[in-house]
A and B are shown apart, each in its own frame.
Chain A
Amino acid sequence: MAKKTYTDSAGKRVHPYVPEISDLYRRGKVSRRDFLHTVTLLGVSAGAAYAFADKVDGVKSLNPIRQAQAAEKGGVLRSAMRVQDMSDPAVFDWTPRSNQARGIVEYMTRTGSDNITRPYLAESWEANDELTEWTFKLRQGVKWSNGDDFNADDVIHNFNRWLDPSVGSSNIGLFAAMTTDYDTGQKNDDGSPVMGKRMREGAIERVDDHTVKLYLNSPVLSIPENLYNYPAAIVHRNFDDEGGNLAQNPVGTGPYTLAEYEIGNKCRLVRRSDGPYWGPEPYLDEIFYIDLGDDDNAAVAALASGQVDHIYELFIDTIDVVERLPNAVLHEAPTAQTAVFRMRMDSAPFDNKQLRQAVAATMDHQKILDLAYRGRGVVAENHHVAPIHPEYYKLPPLTRDVEKAKALLAEAGHADGVSLNLDVNNNNSWEVAAAQAFREQAAAAGIDIKLNIMPGAQYWTVWDKTPFGLTTWTHRPLGVMVLNLAYRTGVPWNESAYSNPEFEAALDVASGILDVEERRKSMEKVESILQEDAIIAQPLWRSVFTATSKRVQGYKAHPTFYHQFQTVWLDG
């Protein structure tokens, strides 16, 4: 079948799926959110996508990027956040690090708090029908703070860095379709060579000064989204030659530069004065990150006494307090962040499926959500796909069934009950609370869970080894992303030692389907298998919270805590 080329009103090519999904949307088969999310990923501008959606829905939505009226310029935004090492953006493994760098270096794309990905340093992009070739048009007229022009060389240099195993960037996993396996030269214990991944020859092409093209060896829809993943900030092409340290040599395209920086203490970004910023000038003169330690209460107390204007993340315990503070605003963002009680399939007694099912059957998801998270989220269904994921398929709701759990337990040979040790990390109080609530629920079926609460540092040394642990997973825009990361045989993050060929086959099928509706249908099987195998008992998807003082305007909480302060200004 000959390929039909679609163009938009401006004559620009659009991906063939765009008209299709537009049609589905018009017919009500696809949610507004799914529609916006997908078409923007496929290169349709957010403005056009919103306009189309507005037309269909007959509403006038405000463009979320530009809604500031009466914004005042100037001021210092003081944000309570851990201040960490920020020397190399490619190896960032913690969001606060990227936030420190966000004002200095920028990304190719930008995903808003509405889960919509928009152009940033890339002006536009398009993918071929198979989603294996992606062309990015770079914005022109962007200048580095050292006066150089931003061009394709910068982008290619960054890809080279990310996909060079010696750099150690986690981007290598996100852009795995651009890599090839190679022999690292080291030997495994069994004598087989240790294989690594590195950039495939010809995976990236410099089309012209402002165009690059990526060649993938398998279809990936999330490339534009991945380009906003926190380690994907674009650094100058001479980054490595000039020391490879952003903190010491803060060259970037962003509107700010680094004025003060002390790990564990503070990080101050000030408006750059060495040349005009390519985009609209941000309102804030300075962004000042203040490290108040791991203690949430200190941050709240600081907010209460006006020492900070913004808190990076609020834990659930403090939201009552913040709601009561006269000068504070609580911001909530629903996410696909979760924690799973995961059972390691290769360790007794969890090698017994009935036992795992019994454990899962005792869980009252709603109650844990209410108790441990004040109901601020949605219940999860033991399959690690969230309702906000576009491919989410709604299975029949899970109900707690203590009798069934007892029966399963008896089948598993533990008619008199069983005693289990659960490792829990105490970094987040809600996890400890959830563990305690679950413990009481399981006790009703004769499952005695002993909680082994430990500091995060300790937990993260055993998280992928302990037979029974409560592990947090962060937000990812697509459900299959986590499933691929954590539930395939032998992948490094497969903390539950899960191995089910049937599941993997179903997941392969689902991952290869572009059609949202089709993919969703195929997810039914994926989700059901996971639920049935009961390797995780997953109570909830949580909202995340940040807080600002009342003088902070134009702020929206981001589900992954990425700071987008371009639209933020301060009153008074």
Chain B
Amino acid sequence: MLVFLARRTVQMLLVMIGVSILLFLLLEIDIDNLAIKVLGPYSLPEARELWLTENGYRDSIVVRYFRWVGGVMVGDFGQSVIYRVPVSDVLWPRLANTALLGGLVLALVIPLALFFGVLAGMREGALRDRVISVSCILTTSVPEYASAPLLTVIFVFWLDLLPGTSNMVGGFQWQAMVLPVMVLVLYDFGYVARMTRASMAEVMTTHYIRTAVLKGLPYRVVILKHALRNALIAPFTVIMLQLNWLLSGVIITEFFFSYKGFGALLLEASLNGDIFVIEACAIISVVVAVGSQLLSDLGYAALNPRIRIH
């Protein structure tokens, strides 16, 4: 188990190194452009040159890369161009906000999706299955940026039930969480539910379920004790990988509702060329994604005894 964990961690680190190289090359290879982004379009070429030299950008790319990675490792992402403060000062609070949003979404998506997925997969092809499946396909087909305006029209302008933005500058408001969470849950729920359904349906056709039924176990026991654990192995990985999608959806949703989260930060940074913030956000999102993969592997191993000994 420890060996497995260690190996996965090493793999994760390797991926992180690849990601950091990719990002670095994408964003910092054109240092003249970088200087323009940092010092602004009206800056004088001399000033840019001075800045580049002073900040070591005339050093070789390898040196720069390691310097940058070294900074990232200790949480020094550089200075934000728009915020004029260290990137980490903006990043962490934003990340905390996104964690809250994402946490709420997962807290809703997981039980809902598992419940409906299991319900549908228990009897494949039955009416209940068809209704749930088609509903899931339907919600998965409506992306966040389509559902957000529709829900805003309904809940903000027509029914006047919820606030239209979720900036929460005046302090935390649970009402302001409703719409972003709803939008993300709607989009994400279907996918996990369908995975669960497929997994459950597959498990229900396996011979060991037949064994369990023909052993004379009550249906409830067959479902809860035999089917569920095996059926949850596949969705578990999906749920953890869902974090990756969630981070994607979060960009659009946060942008739409002015939620002060990490996704909005990344978008804003990229629209305004705040390179160090882009780098930090991308790195952090990858850490979260890869970390979730590690968690998913561990969970998978915990759920699936066959993995453990290998």
Contact = CB atoms under 8 A, between A and B. Distances in A.
Chains A and B directly touch (beta carbon < 8 Å): yes
Interface of A: 78, 84-85, 87, 93, 186, 194, 263-266, 288, 290-295, 297-302, 304-307, 455-458, 460-461, 463-464, 492
A-B CB proximity, top 8 nearest:
A301-B164, A298-B258, A457-B273, A460-B41, A85-B84, A292-B258, A305-B163, A266-B169
B183 to A, nearest CB: 14
A87 B169 CA distance: 21
A186 B152 CA distance: 57
A548 B182 CA distance: 29
Contacts of B37: 457, 461
Contacts of A87: 84
Interface in B163-216: 163-165, 167, 169-170
Contacts of A194: 46
Among B36, B46, B160, B165, max chain A CB count under 10 A is at B165
B27 interface: no
B248 interface: no
A186 B50 CA distance: 12
Given A290-B169, A301-B164, A305-B164, A456 B33 contact: no
A85 B255 contact: no
A8 B164 CA distance: 56
A289 to B, nearest CB: 9
Contacts of B36: 461
B273 A301 contact: no
Contact of A263 (B85, B165, B169, B170): B85
Contact of B41 (A78, A290, A298, A461): A461
B272 A293 contact: no
Interface of B: 33, 36-37, 40-42, 46, 82-85, 90, 152, 156-157, 160, 162-165, 167, 169-170, 255-258, 260, 264-265, 268, 271-273
B83 A85 contact: yes
9 contacts: A263-B84, A266-B169, A288-B169, A288-B170, A293-B268, A300-B164, A304-B157, A305-B164, A455-B271
A78 B170 contact: yes
Contact of A290 (B163, B164, B167, B271): B167
A293 B169 contact: no
B164 A307 contact: yes
A308 to B, nearest CB: 9
B202 to A, nearest CB: 44
Contacts of B152: 301
A297 B167 CA distance: 13
Nearest to B175: A305
A456 B170 CA distance: 29
Contacts of B255: 293, 295
Contacts of A307: 163-165, 167, 170
B83 A305 contact: no
Given A266-B169, A301-B164, A307-B170, A457 B271 contact: yes
B164 A463 contact: no
